[in-house]
Chains A and B, each alone.
Chain A
Amino acid sequence: MSKINIKIEGVAHQVEDGMTILEAAKACGYEIPSLCAFNHGECNRGSCRVCLVEATGARGLVASCVYPVSEGMEIRISSPKAVEARRRSVELLLSNHNMNCQQCEKNGKCELLHVASITGAREGAFKGVHSETHIDRLAPALVRDTSKCILCGRCIERCKNAHGLGILGYENRGFRTFVSPAENRSFADSPCIQCGQCVNVCPTGALMEHSEISKVDAALAAGKHVIIQAAPAVRAALGEEFGYPIGTPVTGKMIAAMRRLGFERVYDVNFGADLTIMEEGTELLHRITSGGVLPMITSCSPGWINYAEYTYGDLLPHLSSCKSPHQMQGAIIKSYWARTNGIDPRDIFVVSVMPCVAKKYEKDREQLKVNGLNDVDAVITTRELAKMIKRSGIIFNRLPDEDWDQDIMGDYTGAAVIFGVTGGVMEAALRTVYFKLTGKEYGRIKFEEVRGHDAGIREATIDINGTKVNVAIASGMKSAKVLLDEIRAGTSKYHFIEIMGCPGGCINGGGQPYVRSCFLPNESDDIMDTYKEKRAKALYSEDERLELRQSHNNPQIIELYEKFLDEPNSHKAHELLHTTYAAKEGFNEVAKA
């Protein structure tokens, strides 16, 4: 790309030809207020009119998110005309917005309020009727409230980019336009996989996770044995909610905070992750040696499971029958832990803290229940945990670093920690499968080939004592589809495939803190480009620090099998730790209003 000369506020700059004014200005150190423009053009429709600037050669003001720079262009961001126009644009958005802000779950993280604040827009500048409101609270993971939607289209684009799905679209026209799944259906009655990527990009409170904080409050108030367990990816991102730089692991403070919130036990889902590797690794070996269905595909991500059940019902025998780690751990808490502590499982309430919103849906799946009981009773996101901590008055940054409860399920290995990033489950499984096949540990420990932090497919061939194991990794359903279509066509060369629902894996899950430069102003680089890598690094660094780095070396896992489960894939293990799947119809029959 050739460079061209432009001026911003009279100061000369050189920028890439073909850039939009918005991107060019960003490269020169200006963040022009904008809403519909997101993530370097992932979404920019020029529809919200918030990013208006003056530019020579253009008629009137231009939307900087779609207008390209040209040689000699002089751009004025702060001219009175541009400032006034941006303020008016935001005031127009506010005029058709549900301004019940103090009751909005997005309060404090709302980009509309942020641009209103920096543009000086006032509510009530324009008065008029509001568009009709549509609210969907039927889906276990997601809530949609169109009274807060500004029609920016970010959610529509993200669903297409990450998954090739396009569950959401604009419905109707003009003032009656709103964003929804086709037929204004609930997410629950559409082929939505409930991953929450749309929530991650929504600038307002129009798309939110279905909060379960009140369920947790009720269980604590009822005097139940309330046990909390946190997934690996949570520790890599929770700090962002408390002003830590992206990629700061806050494991110790997070544990301290959870204990101070009144939970009876604070466990790491990493124990469950180690357990998953024992079960899944054994299942893989069994399939390879006994001519089972291959490739086997991981089953940790409920977004992915949803996609498989909706779109690839014919490939379900390829899915590992293993429950996801937090479900396994929940089942063990309500059996092994309950028995050890002499507690009735019905008096136990298990809360999972997840980087994920699909887990909210997963926990209520009938196929996961043991003796009619849920393994997990409530799922809160990383964001919801931060809310609970803030609400309690705990000064997070001054907490001491504490450790997980260690009684019978506190140990974990580095293999488990890296579950939170794409390729992690694969790497953890390979470490154990290698040992099982050769009787010795893999020398390098790390399987660099399978590492990454973004969507897209990676593949590797691992030579284990002359047995060549072909593996592939995909995250985001757009990438997964490529591998799945190969299996369908009978051309797949793989033995083992890891699929994660969200691009980059759990570190970029739909329940993770919102990544916006306006709320994280101290970051030195463009965080949209770097946050996944930084969060991934936080997990890999924890793996490096740990002495035990293979799931089969976790002493408490060994003890669990000796005392309770017998051996991996035993009858008991199948009863508690494995599950089934069923194909389902995307647009099911619903009663029309």
Chain B
Amino acid sequence: MAKLNEKAVATILEICGRYKDEKTPLMMILSDIQNEYGYIPLEVQQIVSEQTGISVAEIYGVVTFYSFFSLEPKGKYVIGCCLGTACYVKGAQQVIDKFSEILGIRPGQTSKDGMFTLDALRCIGACGIAPAVTINGTVYPKVSVDKVPGIVAEYKAKEGVSA
């Protein structure tokens, strides 16, 4: 297996240590690692397994069960399009298709420059503002197809990339 650098190992051990008194620490550990690194590869799962005594296969099962966790590195900006029922009937599919078209990636993929990841989310509980899109925690309410190019341009501008 690819070896992790010392700093990463120390960070993961520190994260595992945060929850050593919890009865069921796995979800919290994985959430923190996901937030810290944006993904949870097998090498990291092996360390979590050693620290918690939970088998690698079980951890892998949890990581692949929840769409919030990722096995691959995510882009700098993670665009989450809610496809829950309310958002869907308000046209969320067209919205995610537009993102897909502009960025040239399918849901679940990351753009080649590592800038954007496009995720299809199940209901995020923001039905009142459907269709909802989140980008790194910022919520965009009532997104319509024609707003999509502007949103993408906003982030590209931030990074100094011409739209």
Contacts and interface: CB of A to CB of B under 8 A. Distances in A.
A180 B57 CA distance: 8
A290 interface: no
Contact of B64 (A168, A173, A181): A173
Contact of A169 (B2, B42, B61): B61
Nearest to B71: A183
B58 A169 contact: yes
Contact of A585 (B1, B58, B61): B1
B42 A171 contact: no
Contact of B57 (A168, A172, A585, A589): A168
Interface string A19-52: 0000000000000000000000000000000000
Nearest to B41: A183
Contacts, number: 43
Could you say which of A165, A166, A172 has the most chain B C-beta atoms within 10 Å of its C-beta? A166
Nearest to B43: A587
A160 B53 CA distance: 11
A297 B42 CA distance: 32
A588 B46 CA distance: 12
A589 B46 CA distance: 14
B65 A166 contact: no
Interface residues of B, number: 15
A169 B1 CA distance: 20
Contacts of B64: 171-173
Contact of A166 (B2, B42, B45, B57): B57
Q: Chain B interface mostly helix, strand, loop or mixed?
A: helix
B55 interface: yes
A340 to B, nearest CB: 49
A242 interface: no
Contacts of B2: 589
A170 interface: yes
A316 interface: no
A533 B58 CA distance: 33
Nearest to A585: B1
B152 interface: no
Given A171-B61, A589-B1, 7 more contacts: A156-B57, A167-B57, A169-B60, A170-B65, A180-B57, A182-B42, A585-B1
23 contacts: A166-B54, A166-B55, A166-B56, A166-B57, A166-B58, A168-B57, A169-B55, A169-B58, A169-B60, A170-B61, A170-B65, A171-B60, A172-B64, A172-B65, A173-B64, A173-B65, A180-B57, A182-B45, A182-B59, A182-B60, A587-B42, A587-B56, A588-B1
Interface of B: 1-2, 42, 45-46, 54-61, 64-65
